Amino acid sequence: MKIHKILFAALLAAGASTHVAANVPVLAVPEEPVLFLEQPPVFGKMPESAAVIAPQMPLSWFSGNRPIPQTQQAMGLLEQAGLQGLSPSDYPIERLRQQLVQANNGQLSSEQAAQLNNDISRIMRAYVKDLKNGRVDPASVKQRFNRTPITDAQADVLLQNALQQDRLASLPQTVTSAIPMYGSLLKVLAHYKTLVGNPAWQTPLPAIKGTGLKLGQPYAGLAGVQARLEALGDLPPGDAVPAVYDARLEQGIKSFQERHGLAQDGVIGKGTLAQLSVTPEQRVKQVEVNLERLRWTPLTTHSRMIVVNVPEFILRGYAVNNGKVDPQIEMKVIVGRAFNTSTPLFDGEMKFIEFSPYWNIPYSIARSETIPRLRRDPGYLSRQGMEFVVGNSVSTAVSEANMSAVLAGKARIRQRPGPQNALGDIKFIFPNNMSIFLHHTPSVGLFERARRDFSHGCIRVEEPVQLAQFILVNQPEWTVARIKSAMAAKKSNTMKLDEPIPVVLAYSTVVVKNNKTYFFPDIYGQDKLLNQALLRHTQQQAARPLLASNP
């Protein structure tokens, strides 16, 4: 099979199109479908960033003791770093400007000009690495992804090429163009910056009594709701504010709810009111945080991959054909509960499928849930089709000896294959040291919820047969009938895939798809964590001397 190499920058490409009324402001996005797969791992071949870079001539920003025109362009890039979601305050722009004025006036000696040239090179190198690598190490914010950041030498190559080709102004696009969703999020960022200070958010929305505002009910904040929906493009502008919550506003609210990961019931409840209250300034920060995650994107080589965007509660499977990435499947998922059993964010390779699986209950669950339940209700073991495994023997006796052996780590509890098995009838295995995998579930009703963080950390998939078909597409002997038969066999059968498939457990709370921008709740607090890390980075930059002493 031909393997195509591609730089993935996002996960989420495409859902069904949604009608948008004429004249409603819609965020500008590329005309072609955008694929979004944040933080993909390196699989297989060496990424380009690991290639050996030939020695380059030193970067030169001066001719004699005077700055060249590209030097002013470099200052412009630093001053406009905010357009890229970076922080201009990370770079000593004002001091550079002052010294360049002296240089333009012929007030610098050759030694001083050489020192300033080195300072500009160092700062522009940092700028390029900030764009390409990001400013924060993902491992410092609990994201376990393989990546190979570019080096100083590689940043210098990008700068040298831009200088030689007189294309410094387009350097940010050159550095980030391989990240498909990056440009879309930049446009979202620019749009929300235009909304900063919009009067629609100047007056807080009043609290809503009861379970929520419903059709036909009065509300003192209707003018504010309408103004915000119009500004965000969820409602056509121009109509008078109604006396009560009417069908037109309800339609706008449903559009807003769809784009914010909420149940589309048209009721302005606690969750909808909270999202309506998020200011454009806060959305700007949210987009900047997600841009930072995109910068962590490494190269990957593979013909197919599976991506779960945790805060969206969606799994997508992608195929790479002739260098183009095409979404093949999409389904709802259930992920780990926020705060206590959250799904870890990492990458791996799916290598096995287990049909009619046993569920080996993790020690943490056995200790905190199963054993206490058995002490209260010994019959729970047989009703749930469970058994103790002690060495090579199996026991169904709910004895103190068996339970103590489990608590001591000398035995385990497992659930036999069958309709009550917590893993359902199929398990998709990508080996890792956190015991995380994909699986089906007998509790299919939970897939109808808008927010779906209910698991102990593993990921439950809504359409296991469809996922198995996608995974086994190159093993035609595995027909739909055979897959379903193996799932219903009630006898465990593990098969090895002919070709491993990359799996990425990703986290993005801002997604562009079908020319619309979606915001999802920060269920694990990852946005907050990364934003704090970015603030610390800026504080550290302010305390660190990036320039030599003034000439």
State the pLDDT at residue 3. 35
State the pLDDT at residue 51. 42
Domains in the chain, number: 3
pLDDT, tens only, 496-506: 999 999 998 99
State the pLDDT at residue 62. 95
Residues 401 and 464 occupy one common structural domain? yes
Is the pLDDT reported for residue 13 higher than 80?
no
Cα–Cα distance for residue pair 297/277, rounded to 1 Å: 32
Provide the edge-to-edge strand list for the sheet that holds 412-415. 359-360, 412-415, 386-390, 393-395
Residues 238 and 167 occupy one common structural domain? no
Q: Indicate whether 525 belongs to any domain.
A: yes
pLDDT band at 546 (very low <50, low <70, confident <90, very high): low
State the pLDDT at residue 323. 58
Cα–Cα distance for residue pair 257/18, rounded to 1 Å: 13
Is the pLDDT reported for residue 290 higher than 70?
yes
pLDDT band at 5 (very low <50, low <70, confident <90, very high): very low
Is the pLDDT reported for residue 9 higher than 70?
no
Residues 121 and 254 occupy one common structural domain? no
State the pLDDT at residue 339. 80
Q: Indicate whether 322 belongs to any domain.
A: no
Residues 486 and 427 occupy one common structural domain? yes
Q: Indicate whether 287 belongs to any domain.
A: no
% of the chain exceeding 90 in pLDDT: 76
Residues 482 and 344 occupy one common structural domain? yes
Residues 159 and 98 occupy one common structural domain? yes
State the pLDDT at residue 301. 66
Q: Indicate whether 5 belongs to any domain.
A: no
pLDDT, tens only, 457-468: 999 999 999 999
State the pLDDT at residue 340. 82
- Average pLDDT of span 58-70: 93
pLDDT, tens only, 308-363: 999 999 999 988 777 567 889 999 999 999 988 999 999 899 999 999 999 999 99
Is the pLDDT reported for residue 1 higher than 60?
no
User: Which of 243, 263, 278 marks a domain boundary?
Assistant: 278
Pull the structure tokens for residue 424.
């359902």
pLDDT, tens only, 471-526: 999 999 999 999 999 999 999 999 999 999 999 899 999 999 888 999 999 999 99
Q: Indicate whether 371 belongs to any domain.
A: yes
Cα–Cα distance for residue pair 330/463, rounded to 1 Å: 9
Q: Which helix (H) or strand (E) holds 495?
A: strand 493-506
Cα–Cα distance for residue pair 312/308, rounded to 1 Å: 8
Residues 434 and 483 occupy one common structural domain? yes
User: Which of 278, 296, 313 marks a domain boundary?
Assistant: 278
User: Annotated catalytic residue: which of 302, 440, 456, 458?
Assistant: 458
Do residues 73 and 168 make contact, with C-beta atoms less than 8 angstroms apart? Answer: yes
Residues 227 and 117 occupy one common structural domain? no
pLDDT, tens only, 136-193: 999 899 888 877 889 999 999 999 999 999 999 999 999 998 776 889 999 999 999 9
pLDDT band at 7 (very low <50, low <70, confident <90, very high): very low
Q: Indicate whether 133 belongs to any domain.
A: yes
CATH number of the domain to which 216 belongs: 1.10.101.10
pLDDT band at 296 (very low <50, low <70, confident <90, very high): confident
Is the pLDDT reported for residue 43 higher than 80?
no
Q: State if pTM tops 0.85.
A: no
Which residues does 122 contact at the CB level (< 8 Å), separation at least 6? 546
Strand partners, 535: none
Residues 495 and 348 occupy one common structural domain? yes
| Mean pLDDT taken over the chain | 87
Residues 449 and 548 occupy one common structural domain? no
Residues 224 and 76 occupy one common structural domain? no
User: Annotated catalytic residue: which of 191, 439, 456, 537?
Assistant: 439
4 tagged catalytic: no
Q: Which domain holds residue 109?
A: 48-178+521-551
State the pLDDT at residue 20. 34
Q: What is the DSSP string of 119-154?
A: HHHHHHHHHHHHHHH-SS-GGGGTEE-------HHH
260 tagged catalytic: no
Residues 488 and 340 occupy one common structural domain? yes
Q: Indicate whether 299 belongs to any domain.
A: no
Q: Indicate whether 245 belongs to any domain.
A: yes
Pull the structure tokens for residue 398.
């709910």
pLDDT, tens only, 146-155: 778 899 999 9
- HEC secondary structure over 157-198: HHHHHHHHCCCHHHHHHHHHCCCHHHHHHHHHHHHHHHHCCC
State the pLDDT at residue 84. 96
Pull the structure tokens for residue 456.
């102990």
Is the pLDDT reported for residue 228 higher than 50?
yes
Pull the structure tokens for residue 171.
């350097």
Is the pLDDT reported for residue 41 higher than 60?
no
Count CB-CB contacts under 10 A for residue 340. 8
- Average pLDDT of span 196-203: 96
